Structure 1
Amino acid sequence: MAATTIAAPRSPRSPRSPRRMRGRTNTELYAWLFMRVSGVLLMVLVFGHLFVNLMVGEGINALDFAFVAGKWADPFWQVWDLLMLWLAMIHGSNGLRTIINDYAERDQLRMWLKVGLYTAAAITIVLGTLVIFTFDPCPADAAAELLPSFCPAP
């Protein structure tokens, strides 16, 4: 029977081959940094959104279709809501990606869960972006009885 030697826990690792080192990236470091930065930006965006929607003017009583239409008529609020949508979706997807990596044990399952996650996030981001930039509360070909009261008569 041969004796097996176990290296001390703090002993240096064997040098890695140059080919293996070339493929290493700092993806997880960048993902970790993104979570911190996007979390701070999301706090500003979300609390700004809540303050404007709930505290300014008539508060919650003013929230209706006309309020959103008026808000999205201003490019500033379109960009504000777009940043909030994109950061929230990417931040949340990155967090779920980490959970999938931690708890999905089989490689095949992990891959399919991430494909589903990325697909759902991409669809939500694309549709949300389209809604923000193509929103028209007064479409030209709509029936007059379906239009909000603030739209000019056709």
Structure 2
Amino acid sequence: MSDTTTAPELAAPRAPRNRRSTRTNYELYGWLFMRASGVLLLVLIFGHLYMNLMVGDGINAIDFAFVGGKWSSPLWQTWDLLMLWLAMIHGTNGVRTIINDYAERSGTRVVLKSALYLAFTITVVLGTLVIFTFDPCPVGADPELLASICFP
């Protein structure tokens, strides 16, 4: 009497239904960007803090004239612009990830991401405009209201 049992047939795993035919590495690139921008932001932020707080008179020197003098240099305009853009992209990518993880309904995700991208756009555009159009010595202004750097 031979008792032979055969193993049950297992069904092959199915592919997910919503899989796109072409795969992108968007999430991988986002993950790599977060690491690279985080390191670069550390350098930019600590350089910013060192120059503003440790060099010269330190925190006592920070006023309108200090910012006006600093932003008259293309180096500091570029430094602050890079810091603004990287911080905003880094933060927006992080909040986007949180929205993807915790917003359960797709409608909620769309509303939250739309608000996030709108806030990002407004902040980056206004920040960029301020950095490049800032003039501490506007022509025709009352001399009593101008900073000390406006008078040679």
Interval of TM-score (by shorter of Structure 1 and Structure 2): 0.7 to 0.9
Q: What's the counterpart of residue 20 of structure 1?
A: 20
Aligned-residue Cα RMSD (Å) equals 2.2
Quick one: structure 1 residues 108 and 21, their matched pair in 2 at CA, closer, same or farther if it must change by over 3 Å?
same
Equivalent-residue separation in structure 1 for 2:116 and 2:10 (angstroms):
41
Could you tell me the percent identity over the aligned residues? 69
Equivalent-residue separation in structure 2 for 1:86 and 1:63 (angstroms):
23
What TM-score do the two structures reach when normalised by structure 1?
0.85
Deviations 1:74-130 (A, max 9, x none): 000000000000000000000000000000000001011000000000100000000
Equivalent-residue separation in structure 1 for 2:118 and 2:140 (angstroms):
34
Q: What's the counterpart of residue 125 of structure 1?
A: 124
Q: Residue 69 of structure 2 contacts residue 149 of structure 2 at CA under 8 Å; is this kept in 1?
A: no
The letter for the 1-side match of 2:50 is: F
SS at match of 1:21: coil
Alignment of 1:28-107 (within 5 A): 28-107=27-106
Equivalent-residue separation in structure 2 for 1:55 and 1:74 (angstroms):
19
- Listed as ranges, the gaps of 5+ residues in structure 1 are none
Alignment of 1:110-149 (within 5 A): 110-149=109-148
Equivalent-residue separation in structure 1 for 2:77 and 2:122 (angstroms):
19
The letter for the 2-side match of 1:81 is: D
Quick one: structure 1 residues 99 and 16, their matched pair in 2 at CA, closer, same or farther if it must change by over 3 Å?
closer
Measured after TM superposition, the shift of residue 14 of structure 1 is: 4.6
Aligned residues between the structures: 143
Quick one: structure 1 residues 14 and 136, their matched pair in 2 at CA, closer, same or farther if it must change by over 3 Å?
same
Equivalent-residue separation in structure 2 for 1:16 and 1:149 (angstroms):
67
Quick one: structure 1 residues 144 and 57, their matched pair in 2 at CA, closer, same or farther if it must change by over 3 Å?
same
Identify which of structures 1 and 2 has the higher relative contact order when contacts are C-alpha pairs closer than 8 Å and 6+ apart: 2
Equivalent-residue separation in structure 2 for 1:48 and 1:82 (angstroms):
14
Equivalent-residue separation in structure 2 for 1:108 and 1:124 (angstroms):
24
Q: Residue 103 of structure 2 contacts residue 109 of structure 2 at CA under 8 Å; is this kept in 1?
A: yes
What TM-score do the two structures reach when normalised by structure 2?
0.87
Q: Which runs of 4+ in 1 moved over 4 A?
A: 12-17
**Greater Rg by CA:** 2
- Listed as ranges, the gaps of 5+ residues in structure 2 are 1-8
